[in-house]
Amino acid sequence: MRLATLNTPQGPHAAIQVGDSYVDLTATDSKFPASVRELLSKPALLAEAAEAAKSPKAVKVPVAGAKLHAPIHDPQKIVCVGLNYRDHAIESKMAIPKEPVLFSKFPSALIGSGEAIVAPKVSTRVDYEAELVIVIGKKGRKISEADATDHVAGYAVGHDVSARDWQLEKDGKQWMAGKTFDTFAPIGPVMVTKDEVADVHNLGIRLRLNGKTMQNSNTKEFIFTVPQMVSYISQIITLEPGDLIFTGTPPGIGHALSPQVYMKAGDTVEVEIDGLGTLTNTVISD
């Protein structure tokens, strides 16, 4: 299944992509919640939604004209893993981590595909980071690596936008501050359920800035696997349906280039992951 959240005049509506249309589940039948997060928490209702999407009475919206929120627009938690590609750690001149490096973003950073990333006036070094995002589907704490995949609902394309001056040049290095400005967590256009992803550890991941490929790698380069990340994070916090885990970025970030490259108003950035889709956002100034 490919789940999305439509931005409608009535508010967010949960949806399933069927071919070149989104089935608006909330408009099709009022028993379906507006929140994909709520659907994930009720597997039986999610199965009903999949059947409803096949109905000739289903309310459809063309993909080409749809306005989208992030597929999970109301997560309780957004956890991020830094330095999870060996080559990226090297280009960042940081030691290869022995355990996942964690920080967080707030839900106010979330935007969907087609929405604008706002480059704040207080930063002159707004950088890009292509990322795979894990979507949690089952509540758990102290999850073993062997059981971790059972707690995963699926995956999405993400973009960890980063204000490098705030992240790296403030006293104490303010990772969270540099990573969670409003609009700094684009995700989308959809989340894809794990049954449709043959091998999450062998997915091509690319980022293009104004059509030029800046990052081009594969999730097989992860330092920590999906089960390792989910298990590790669950030792600290209870993971719940709809929680999001950003899994790190490959080499090619603008901050590490010579000369350095940062995003600016008027830019278009695309993040593409094999089988999951392409997340597209423009950049504007505040």
Q: Are residues 150 and 255 in the same domain?
A: yes
Confidence of residue 232 (pLDDT cuts 50, 70, 90): very high
Helix (H) or strand (E) holding 154: strand 152-159
Q: Are residues 10 and 140 in the same domain?
A: no
Q: Tell me: pLDDT of 171 over 90.
A: no
70 within domain boundaries: no
Residue 158: the pLDDT is: 98
Q: Are residues 59 and 130 in the same domain?
A: no
Domains: count for the chain:
2
Q: Are residues 160 and 39 in the same domain?
A: no
Token match 């480059």: residue? Answer: 119
Question: Which tens digits make up the pLDDT trace of 7-51?
Answer: 999 999 999 999 999 999 999 999 999 999 999 999 999 999 999
- Could you tell me which of 285, 37, 282, 10 has the C-alpha nearest to residue 156? 37
Residue 172: the pLDDT is: 80
The string of DSSP codes covering 172-213 is T--HHHHH-STT-EEEEEEEEEGGG-S-TTS-EEEEEETTEE
Range of the domain at 21: 2-65
Q: Are residues 6 and 148 in the same domain?
A: no
Q: Are residues 140 and 25 in the same domain?
A: no
Q: Are residues 99 and 36 in the same domain?
A: no
71 within domain boundaries: no
Per DSSP, helices labelled H in 94-234 are 164-169, 175-179, 226-234
Q: Are residues 110 and 6 in the same domain?
A: no
Confidence of residue 88 (pLDDT cuts 50, 70, 90): confident
pLDDT over 90, % of the chain: 93
73 within domain boundaries: no
CATH number assigned to the domain comprising residue 102: 3.90.850.10
184 within domain boundaries: yes
